[in-house]
Amino acid sequence: MRMKPWNVEICDVTLRDGEQTPGVSFTPEEKIDIATRLDAVGVEVIEAGFPIVSVHEKDMIRNISRLGLDAKICGLTRACREDVDAALDAEVDMIGLFIAPSDMHLKYKHKKPREVVVANALEQLDYAVDHGLIVRFGAEDASRTSNDVLVDIYTRAGEHKASYVTYADTTGCLTPLEVADIMKDIIPRTPVPVAIHAHNDLGCATANTIIAAELGAFQLHTTINGLGERAGNARLEEVLVSLALKGGITRYDLREIPALSEHVQEYTGIHMPITKPVVGANAFAHESGIHIAAILENPETYEFIPPELLGLERRFILGKHTGKRALIHILNTFGYHISDEQVIQVLEMIKERSEDKCIINQQILKEIICRVTGEDVINGNIIGENSGCPGRNVY
């Protein structure tokens, strides 16, 4: 029996934290496109930027606020009156107002006692609420702040009408089990919904976000392709697929994800590894003969994530691990009809050439078939003597 779906929403921070990726800057047109595509996915909150950064930044956020998207538009602010005023000028629906209550940040950044920092932040929280803003009250460097201190601050923020509070693992120092222990302690004692903002320095951001969601965290912060400072943030595409397959959340249109990821790769010049989950080139590609034979019977034998969920198709790759059945399937797909004996010969040549790191693309496959069959033409295509080894061995 499936468990009750998790109670969550997504706040994507690509346009703010993602743009803090070293070397990344989005044009106004790119920001509009990303925001529009995030809205099409069904993301509930889009953090469009940091309004106080510049007049240009504030104007761009205002332009996004005026798009009429279904998503709420959020701006990040420090606990400063001028930051809140800049967010109001940007016409956002909500702000993420933050302080850093850890001992380290109080000593080296705020350089003030915690009570002074908190009292000032609550004053700015009141001001923002009085001016009609939804406020998410954030604790930067929460992962190095005691739970009791955080709960006290979160409780006071709730009393001042904060709609959410944020737990930020700013340095990405937590593992999933640590996050689980923290969420089990903090969430029951916090009177308002908790947001989780995870960085990926240990490679745990997505896992930390998912375990927090399972234990009751409400707002999940993500970036497209895991953009962000240093090693980035929790990856939107991975979080959404995990929510669909583990959390019973089916309202997001995951078919929009591949194009969204590709556009952001183009805008940033940061391209995903081929083994990247969900959006990597090999995420739904198979070479092993044993795997492909089973997949042709039932894809669930070797696929937990169905590619159809993202509007994609699985692909079979020819190489040293290819089996006879996979080869026959690929040959049939391209309309090649040869005898069983010739199939075995073709397979042997594929394996031999793959051992030499030759990439078996369709042109190379045609060449091999011609050599086995003695034909110079396949499907009307003339095959030359030296096709080389260009391209990819993906079908």
- Looking at residue 386, its pLDDT comes to 39
Is residue 280 a contact partner of residue 235, using CB atoms and an 8 Å limit? Answer: no
Q: How many helices (H) and strands (E) does the chain have?
A: 14, 12
Tell me the backbone φ, ψ of residue 315, rounded to 5 degrees: -130, 145
Measure the CA–CA gap between 328 and 208, rounded to whole angstroms. 43
- Looking at residue 326, its pLDDT comes to 79
pLDDT string in tens for the chain (395-residue length): 456 899 999 999 999 999 999 999 999 999 999 999 999 999 999 999 999 999 999 999 999 999 999 999 999 999 999 999 999 999 999 999 999 999 999 999 999 999 999 999 999 999 999 999 999 999 999 999 999 999 999 999 999 999 999 999 999 999 999 999 999 999 999 999 999 999 999 999 999 999 999 999 999 999 999 999 999 999 999 999 999 999 999 999 999 999 999 999 999 999 999 999 999 999 998 877 778 778 888 889 999 999 999 999 998 778 787 888 878 887 887 788 888 888 888 888 888 887 877 777 777 888 888 888 877 645 544 333 334 443 344 44
Q: Which amino acid is at 176?
A: P
70: buried, middle or exposed (CB in 10 Å: 19+, 13-18, 0-12)?
exposed
All structural domains of the chain: 9-268 (3.20.20.70), 285-382 (no CATH)
Is residue 221 a contact partner of residue 210, using CB atoms and an 8 Å limit? Answer: no
- Looking at residue 370, its pLDDT comes to 87
Measure the CA–CA gap between 230 and 172, rounded to whole angstroms. 10
Query: For all residues of the chain together, what is the average pLDDT?
Result: 91
Between the CA of residue 176 and those of 173, 200, 254, 277, 290, what are the distances in Å?
10, 12, 25, 19, 34
Q: For strands 381-382 and 377-378, give the pairing.
A: antiparallel
Residue 99: strand pairing partners? 139
Q: For residue 148, how many other CB atoms are within 10 A of its CB?
A: 11
- Looking at residue 382, its pLDDT comes to 37
pLDDT in tens, 254-306: 999 999 999 999 999 999 999 999 999 999 988 777 787 788 888 899 999 99
Is residue 108 a contact partner of residue 140, using CB atoms and an 8 Å limit? Answer: no
Tell me the backbone φ, ψ of residue 223, rounded to 5 degrees: -135, 150
pLDDT in tens, 167-211: 999 999 999 999 999 999 999 999 999 999 999 999 999 999 999
Q: How many CA atoms lie within 13 A of 263 on its CB side?
A: 19
- Looking at residue 376, its pLDDT comes to 60
Strand ranges in the chain using DSSP code E only, listed in sequence order: 9-12, 45-49, 72-78, 94-99, 134-139, 164-169, 194-198, 219-222, 285-286, 315-316, 377-378, 381-382
